[in-house]
Amino acid sequence: MINSQRLKRFFFELVQIDSHSRDEKKVAEYLQDKLERLGAVITMDDTAEKIGGNCGNLLARISGPLEGKVEPLLFCSHMDTVVPGEGVKPVEDDGVIRSSGDTILGSDDKSGIAAILEMLHVLKENDLPFGALEILFTVAEEVGLLGARNFDTSVLKSKRGYFLDSEYVSKISVGAPAAYRMRYEIFGHEAHAGLAPEQGISAIQVAAKAINNMPMGRIDSETTANIGVIEGGTATNIVTKQVILRGEARSHNDKKLEEQVAAMRKAIQDAVDSSWIELDGKRIQAHFEEATKREYISFRIPESSLSYQLPQKAGKAIGLEMEPEISGGGSDANIFNEKGIESLIIGTGMQAVHTVKEHISFKDMENCANLLINMIQLHGKA
Ligand SMILES: [Zn+2]
């Protein structure tokens, strides 16, 4: 039922529109035009001003013949891409679409947008029975889910949503971990490294001690942690006075997450506590400042829920055995679950995302669009 040529054209057109995070305006304009032709009522929120971007979240409402008779559904993809994502030249080879090798492709998340567009066209041109649909295209997903965070979900009628934003079409993410992001600023004491190193406390050394004693990587089946950024120091002949560490911890289990964050803090505390010197009869002690922020809460959608049943049954109808999985988190869907919209993540076929080797099989894109159409048809029959 889908029009493969059209789906491919949507995708090729979309990936060729530059849309780094906070610069999604041109994609939004492209979508506005397409959605208006489909009879959608379109609004854009004021997120652009809040995040310093040139575009807000784009919401389109589409009424179907079954509006009021079946529950409204939300479908969502993000419009922004990571860097380097400008001047993308998509090439197709043997059914697989790639970039020319010096940029990402942008299938994250334009494959999701293309699938949604194709679904809407099929619904309209075939006069299929469907209820109210809410289509949301968010901004700045890749830089901390800023669009989703700033979106006011009280304007939505839907109680459940589908986020087209992961790899395998046959896998649906029904859960994600909670996460913390942390920033530790470690202060030592500056001194000349050649003339008087004993008069200094190296913040780099303190940080190294702390990191060495920190539980990191895969903590257990539910929990991970990482220090991903370390910054500090000005010259080789100066005992470094200050170092900044930035990291994260994730877990599907809230208690374990709190324990992990505490263990990381303790490693820093122990390292600074044991780092001090005496200078002119005064004790100089290393110390630290911490900024730890909860990023999102975990969610788990039960298999009995309609949100889960719909893609599962629709998948079967087109020969896809849908497998539930728990994702690593960090998606717009996390934020929406937090805000009370039961949200699942569906794959689009995107692979090796956030690299210049990013690619997508066109067959997967077709499957994804077909899956969406089937979901809506099944929902209409319920
Ligand atoms: Zn994405």
- For 183-210, how does the pLDDT look when each residue is reduced to its tens digit (9 = 90+)? 999 999 999 999 999 999 999 999 999 9
- Among candidate residues 133, 14, 17, the one with its CA nearest the CA of residue 75: 133
**Binding site, annotated residues for Zn(2+):** 354
Query: Does the pLDDT value for residue 327 go beyond 90?
Result: no
In angstroms, what is the span from residue 195 Cα to ligand 1's centroid? 52
pLDDT attached to residue 176: 86
pLDDT attached to residue 139: 98
Instruction: Supply the residues annotated as catalytic.
Output: 80, 141
pLDDT attached to residue 328: 72
| CATH architecture entry for 179-295 | 2-Layer Sandwich (3.30)
**Cβ atoms of 211 and 267 closer than 8 Å:** yes
pLDDT cut 90: percent of the chain above it:
93
In angstroms, what is the span from residue 331 Cα to ligand 1's centroid? 7
**Cβ atoms of 295 and 181 closer than 8 Å:** yes
Residue 217 burial (10 A CB sphere; 0-12, 13-18, 19+): exposed
- For 227-285, how does the pLDDT look when each residue is reduced to its tens digit (9 = 90+)? 999 999 999 999 999 999 999 999 988 899 999 999 999 999 999 999 999 999 999 99
User: Domain limits of the chain?
Assistant: 4-176+298-381, 179-295
**Binding site, annotated residues:** 354
Q: What is the mean pLDDT of residues 110-134?
A: 97
381 compared with 311, residue with greater pLDDT:
311
Residue 34 burial (10 A CB sphere; 0-12, 13-18, 19+): middle
pLDDT attached to residue 220: 96
pLDDT attached to residue 299: 86
pLDDT attached to residue 1: 86
- Write the secondary structure of the chain as one string of H (helix), E (strand) and C (coil): CCCHHHHHHHHHHHHCCCCECCCCHHHHHHHHHHHHHCCCEEEECCHHHHHCCCCCCEEEEECCCCECCECCEEEEEECCECCCCCCCCCEEECCEEECCCCCCCCHHHHHHHHHHHHHHHHHHHCCCCCCCEEEEEECCCCCCCHHHHHCCHHHCCCCEEEEEEECCCCEEEEEECEEEEEEEEEECECEECCCCHHHCECHHHHHHHHHHCCCCEEEECCEEEEEEEEEECCCCCEECCEEEEEEEEEECCHHHHHHHHHHHHHHHHHHHHCCEEEECCEEEECEEEEEEEEEECCEECCCCCHHHHHHHHHHHHCCCCCEEEECCCCCHHHHHHHCCCEEEEEECCEECCCCCCCEEEHHHHHHHHHHHHHHHHHHHHC
In angstroms, what is the span from residue 382 Cα to ligand 1's centroid? 31
Query: What is the residue-averaged pLDDT of the chain?
Result: 96
Q: What is the mean pLDDT of residues 308-336?
A: 91
The token duo for 206 is 């303190």
**Cβ atoms of 311 and 172 closer than 8 Å:** yes
pLDDT attached to residue 341: 96
- For 340-358, how does the pLDDT look when each residue is reduced to its tens digit (9 = 90+)? 999 999 999 999 999 999 9
In angstroms, what is the span from residue 165 Cα to ligand 1's centroid? 5
- For 222-238, how does the pLDDT look when each residue is reduced to its tens digit (9 = 90+)? 999 999 999 999 999 99
Query: Does the pLDDT value for residue 214 go beyond 90?
Result: yes
The token duo for 239 is 């005992």
Q: What is the mean pLDDT of residues 75-85?
A: 98
In angstroms, what is the span from residue 150 Cα to ligand 1's centroid? 17
Fold of 4-176+298-381: Aminopeptidase (3.40.630)
Cis previous bond, 109, omega within 30: yes
**Cβ atoms of 115 and 365 closer than 8 Å:** yes
Cα of first residue to Cα of last residue in the chain, in angstroms, is 21
Residue for token pair 């988190």 = 329
Q: What is the mean pLDDT of residues 65-87?
A: 97
- For 25-59, how does the pLDDT look when each residue is reduced to its tens digit (9 = 90+)? 999 999 999 999 999 999 999 999 999 999 999 99
**Cβ atoms of 153 and 64 closer than 8 Å:** no
In angstroms, what is the span from residue 78 Cα to ligand 1's centroid? 7
